[in-house]
Amino acid sequence: MGTETLDFVADETVQIFGGYGFSSDYEVERVYRDQRVNRIFEGTNEINRLLITDMLMKRSMKGELDLIPAAQRVLDEVLGPTTREETDPGRPLGEEMELLEGAKKVVLLVAGSAVRRYLQALAEEQEIVGALSNLVMEVYATESMLLRTQKSLGRRGPEAVGSECDAARIYLFAALDRMESDARRALARIAEGDELRTQLSLLRRFLRRTPRDVIGLRRRLASCALELNRYPFS
């Protein structure tokens, strides 16, 4: 995730510099060339994606990680009432934390469905394994971001952390869109017919959300950076 984010940032920076981005007179040209190797050495990103899910599955099989039982609990839970608890209006980023819990259930839904379908042969389904790793990375990054923002809110107050909250919501809703796409693609490989339709229904339930005005949030964040004339999260 880090190396792919770096790739995005370097590419956008060259775009901002325009033609100067290709000139060795500017540092960004060197950054653009150098960052490419990071997705290759120390194991390619594709190999590392296989290792993420493989490690989680092995630890679960050994009883070191409560992954498969947790996946079963999610499936048992959906057989019950579909009522949803009201978000505590006084909880900082309460709605966003609730969406994070739904995102975690998506990981368990896909992982549990994949294990039941393929068992030990899951390692041969590399596209599903890669999608699962994407889901894991998104949840890890999203939870880290939200917890960090909550900590800032508690320490500095809402007025001083407005930009951080905007950035958190921008990332969260983009991450949920990516997760929904990855999960849908994986489930379509794992199941079919009525079973697939049921799983897709669960996916929609876990990620049920009202779209935010992400365009407006991005504009507000950009205005903050322009006003400060620097990176706003130093």
Q: Which of 4, 12, 27, 42 is the catalytic position?
A: 42
pLDDT in tens, 119-131: 889 999 999 999 9
* Cα 208 from chain centre: 16
Calculate mean pLDDT across residues 42-68. Answer: 89
Section 200-222 average pLDDT: 96
**∠ Cα 111 117 118 (to 5°):** 90
Per CATH, domain 45-228 is 3.40.50.410: no
Evaluate whether 173 touches 209 at the Cβ level (below 8 Å).
Answer: yes
Q: Reply yes or no on whether the pLDDT at 223 is more than 80.
A: yes
Asked if 42 is an active-site residue, the reply is yes
**DSSP for 43-78?**
S-HHHHHHHHHHHHHHHHHTTSS-HHHHHHHHHHHT
pLDDT at 87: 60
**Predicted TM-score (pTM) of this structure:** 0.89
Share of the chain above pLDDT 90, in %: 78
| pLDDT (mean) for 182-203 | 96
Give me the pLDDT at residue 90, please: 67
pLDDT tens-digit readout, 163-179: 999 999 999 999 999 99
Question: Within 10 A of 17 (CB to CB), how many other CB atoms are there?
Answer: 16
Contact 73, 104 (CB under 8 A): no
Query: What is the chain's length?
Result: 234
Pick the more confident residue, 232 or 61. 232
Look at residue 101 in the predicted model and tell me its pLDDT: 96
For residue range 65-100, list pLDDT tens digits in order. Answer: 888 888 888 877 776 665 555 666 667 899 999 999
> Is the separation of the CB atoms in 109 and 71 below 8 Å?
yes
pLDDT of amino acid 77:
77
Q: Which of 107, 116, 106 lies closest to 52 in space, CA to CA?
A: 107
pLDDT for the residue 177: 97
